[in-house]
Chains A and B, each alone.
Chain A
Amino acid sequence: MTPNSSISRRLTFLLACVAAVLSVLSWYMVTEFARQAAERTQDNILEAAATIIAEALRSEDGEVRLELPYSAFSMLGAISEDRVFYHVATGTETLTGNAPINANLTAPTTGQTALDTITYQAEPVRVASVTRVILNNQAPVPVTVSVGQTRNGVSLIANDLSRTAGIFSIAFFVLAVGLSAIVARTSLRQLKVIAEAVGRRGPSDLRPLRHPAPEELAPLMVALNSLIDRLARSLRQSEDFITEAAHRVRTPLATVRAQAEVALRRVESADEKQRMRQIIRAVDESSRSAGQLLDHATVAYRAENVPDNRVDLAFVAKVATDALQPTADMKDIDIGLRTEETVVLGDRVLLESALRNVLDNAVKYSPPETSVSVTVFKADGFGQITVSDHGPGLGTAPYDRYTNRFQRGENVGGTVGSGLGLTIAKDVVVAHRGTIELTDNEGSGTCVSLILPLA
């Protein structure tokens, strides 16, 4: 991805463009509105002035007379410093005035006001005209009063407001650009959050993303999820391949074992029986090794990204114990379970597998009719699962030997086992930032402790 294609910058730019258009538009509208308002104000005042003057018209001694009302001119002077023109005419005859501003105007009908803009002395002049009929010598005489004003005030007010609006528009634009940048970054934070959510995932976590995302990001999520799905499918295919391979091996092994058991019942000679037992043991050993190898691979893979789920070790112990109970029953081995709620952070499946391997070893190596005890407790900020048996013990070899691959205790004799069990347990515990301890169980048997930091 090159910096040029930064979505944030493009978004900011786009929003800024929108802001610019809005700024110019608002400026134009305010300016236009101001101009119209100023013009309307002037028109109103011109109309009022013309009307006030027209109302002052009267007939006296056979002639139309007029005393210009002071208020009319006072009004005109109040809004702006504009030049004022007025003209009063009876028909075509000028009664009074300071400029012929009615020259090009058509007299409005009585009672109406006419507004027009003319050019007088090279300046635009707004003119309001009112016609009133005066009875003079019993004869109606129409008198037209025109009041005009230059438009400097209007442009001044309009320009003033336009300038103010311009400043506001620029301020708005600057603010909008700032906000755009923030908005762009905020919107993209969602994207970042999703990216981080993807980044935090372990390689094996191929569940679809369920992160709440703005609907605009939905296509991205869909694409991402379909990618994850394809990845998961291809990974599942390789898992399936391993599984299929295991199936291919294990199924014939199972067949052989079943047939061997049947044969064992049917053969009479001790030699034959012995051979059958050997076959069965060989099958068991290879299947157990295959299982542990696969378990170990899985553990190694999962241990790279241990999630921070809350896991109660008591529950883990219960599940593992239940799973091994029937196996233990075969040898009349009692599994004593004592637990208290002990929550650690980690991967339940891994922890179960660690404990099951330890427990499996304990059951496998214990003589019949003995007991294995599983204890879960908290101590000094750590959660501990201890599995003690009354098996042959560890002998004198250093502890590390047992947790290295394929090492078996010295005293296991004919018991089937690959020696991977403790390695798996150790890997799991280390991945959970814990330790594993092997001790002699008070003279007879082994005591394995998985020690994990509490949640």
Chain B
Amino acid sequence: MRFVDFAIGLGLCLLGFSAHALEIEEQRSYAGSGPVVVRILSTADLAAFEPFITTFQAQHPEIGVDYTVSSSAEVYRAIQGGARYDVVISSAMDLQFKLANDGFAQTYSSELTDRLPSWARWRDLIFAFTSEPAVAVVSTELFAGLPLPKTRQELIAILRENPERFVGAIGTYDVRTSGLGYLFATQEARISDAYWRLSEVMGRLDPALYCCSGQMIDDVSEGRLALAYNVLGSYADQRLAEPGNGGMQIIEFDDFDNVMLRTAIIPKTVTAPQEAGLFIDTMLATGLRQNQDDWVLPPLAASNTQQLSFGPIRLGPTLLVYLDPLNRRAFLESWQDAVEQGL
């Protein structure tokens, strides 16, 4: 098992984690009438994901579900470390892809996987079931009097022209700790030069750095932040729908969308492969529906109906590029130079 050691070592090294137990954010068990339990490791908040579990158990009441939430980096580390789960769900496409590419995923195929569009799957290893754009969220109060930017160029201009209003009032992912943040940042940097200019402008405004979309959205809705850049649209929509959140607006830029596909794999360490497959099928059936209805997580069709300039981030070996430790080091150096200047 030399290659496993190698891979583990490389993984730990590249993500800068020391060997420690999985950091669990949430966990919940849903008992089934039978003894079999599907163990799911996921980055999705329970609040957002619970409808899937409910739907699944309605179809298969005999199967219990154990749902564990952790960060994308933690999820990746755990699976690479051989943790025993049946389904792994993550918003960090690159890490999911790397798991599949590097041989940590089990193949699975069913009628539903065959129905997925080609961009929503990679071989029989990795399956997308949502398509979620990165958006900006602004506080209506703190943004008052300013035009809402339609492109990143306009946002840069607004930030430059109103530094006093935005100092310390901008939030974005800390790409060093957030897998999703790193994915959004690297993809945006690849697509547009505006990313680095925006990062520099934000860097001068002493941005607050976050691990997760939820906290950023909380801070905007509570007036601590004027702008949260690159948060998950799905979470923002959900928060906006809650009562008493009228002081917040969602901006989807016209220049390009950064659309993430939430993906699932069945790890090689699966103990209940048949049930894991059934669970994947439930997710895909939901993902293949045409309308979002009152679900938090949007269906795959969401990225079809919106006119995307680039389409969702592509599932493929290019996702490996920015996960390479050398590239990651170089990117993070540039990012730090831009975002953490002079403080």
Question: Residues of A with Cβ closer than 8 Å to B?
Answer: 65-70, 73-74, 76-77, 81, 83-86, 95-100, 120-121, 152
**Chain A residues near B317 (CB-CB < 8 A):** 73-74, 76-77, 84
A96 to B13, CA, bound (A): 11
A69 to B2, CA, bound (A): 28
Q: Which of B3-11, B60-68, B137-145, B245-253 contacts A (4 or more CB under 8 A)?
A: B3-11
A67 touching B3 by the CB < 8 A rule? no
A99 touching B3 by the CB < 8 A rule? yes
Residue in contact with A67 in the complex, picked from B2, B100, B327, CB distance below 8 Å: B327
A99 touching B190 by the CB < 8 A rule? no
Which B residues, 284 to 343, have Cβ-Cβ distances below 8 Å to chain A? 314, 316-318, 320-321, 324-327, 330
A95 to B324, CA, bound (A): 10
| B98 interface residue (CB < 8 Å to A) | yes
Q: Which residue of A lies closest to B324 (CB)?
A: A68
| B122 interface residue (CB < 8 Å to A) | yes
Residue in contact with B320 in the complex, picked from A67, A81, A84, A120, CB distance below 8 Å: A84
CB distance from B35 to the nearest CB of A (A): 32
Question: 21 A-B contacts, Cβ less than 8 Å apart?
Answer: A65-B326, A65-B330, A66-B324, A66-B327, A67-B330, A68-B321, A68-B327, A73-B316, A73-B318, A73-B321, A74-B318, A77-B317, A83-B101, A83-B102, A84-B101, A84-B320, A86-B320, A98-B10, A98-B320, A99-B7, A100-B6
**Chain B residues near A85 (CB-CB < 8 A):** 101
Give the 5 A-B CB pairs with smallest separation, nearest first: A77-B316, A84-B317, A73-B317, A77-B317, A73-B318
B325 touching A121 by the CB < 8 A rule? no
**Chain B residues near A69 (CB-CB < 8 A):** 321
| B152 interface residue (CB < 8 Å to A) | no
Interface string of B257-298 (1 = CB under 8 A from A): 000000000000000000000000000000000000000000
| B103 interface residue (CB < 8 Å to A) | yes
**Chain A residues near B224 (CB-CB < 8 A):** none
CB distance from B329 to the nearest CB of A (A): 9
Residue in contact with A152 in the complex, picked from B98, B123, B326, CB distance below 8 Å: B123
Q: Is the interface of A mostly helix, strand, loop or mixed?
A: mixed
A120 to B101, CA, bound (A): 12
A73 to B327, CA, bound (A): 13
Would A66 and B103 be within 8 Å (CB), given that A98-B10, A100-B2 are in contact? no
Would A98 and B101 be within 8 Å (CB), given that A66-B326, A67-B326, A81-B123 are in contact? yes
A454 to B162, CA, bound (A): 120
**Chain A residues near B7 (CB-CB < 8 A):** 98-99
B314 touching A77 by the CB < 8 A rule? yes
A98 to B76, CA, bound (A): 14
CB distance from B243 to the nearest CB of A (A): 45
Inter-chain pairs besides A68-B324, A74-B317, A120-B3, 13 sampled, C-beta below 8 Å: A66-B327, A67-B327, A68-B320, A68-B326, A70-B190, A70-B321, A74-B318, A76-B317, A83-B100, A83-B102, A84-B317, A99-B7, A121-B3
**Chain A residues near B190 (CB-CB < 8 A):** 70
**Chain B residues near A65 (CB-CB < 8 A):** 326, 330
B325 touching A96 by the CB < 8 A rule? yes
B102 touching A70 by the CB < 8 A rule? no
CB distance from B196 to the nearest CB of A (A): 15
A408 to B218, CA, bound (A): 143
Would A96 and B314 be within 8 Å (CB), given that A81-B122, A120-B3 are in contact? no
CB distance from A62 to the nearest CB of B (A): 15
CB distance from A153 to the nearest CB of B (A): 10
Q: Which residue of A lies closest to B124 (CB)?
A: A81
A70 to B94, CA, bound (A): 14
Q: Which residue of B lies closest to A147 (CB)?
A: B317
Which B residues, 117 to 170, have Cβ-Cβ distances below 8 Å to chain A? 122-123
Residue of A81, A83, A121 with highest tally of chain B CB at under 10 A: A81
Q: Which residue of B lies closest to A98 (CB)?
A: B102
A121 touching B321 by the CB < 8 A rule? no
**Chain A residues near B6 (CB-CB < 8 A):** 99-100
A77 to B314, CA, bound (A): 10
**Chain A residues near B100 (CB-CB < 8 A):** 83
B320 touching A73 by the CB < 8 A rule? yes
Q: Which residue of A lies closest to B101 (CB)?
A: A83
A95 touching B102 by the CB < 8 A rule? no
A100 to B103, CA, bound (A): 13
**Chain A residues near B98 (CB-CB < 8 A):** 98
A85 to B98, CA, bound (A): 10
A189 to B57, CA, bound (A): 75
B324 touching A121 by the CB < 8 A rule? no
A60 to B318, CA, bound (A): 25
Interface string of B96-117 (1 = CB under 8 A from A): 0010111100000000000000
A70 touching B123 by the CB < 8 A rule? no
CB distance from A192 to the nearest CB of B (A): 57
CB distance from A162 to the nearest CB of B (A): 20
**Chain A residues near B326 (CB-CB < 8 A):** 65-68, 95-96
B102 touching A99 by the CB < 8 A rule? yes
A66 to B103, CA, bound (A): 25
**Chain A residues near B316 (CB-CB < 8 A):** 73-74, 77, 81
A69 to B122, CA, bound (A): 21
Q: Which residue of A lies closest to B316 (CB)?
A: A77
Q: Which residue of B lies closest to A88 (CB)?
A: B326
Q: Which residue of A lies closest to B186 (CB)?
A: A70
Q: Which residue of B lies closest to A72 (CB)?
A: B321
Interface string of B12-43 (1 = CB under 8 A from A): 00000000000000000000000000000000
**Chain A residues near B2 (CB-CB < 8 A):** 100
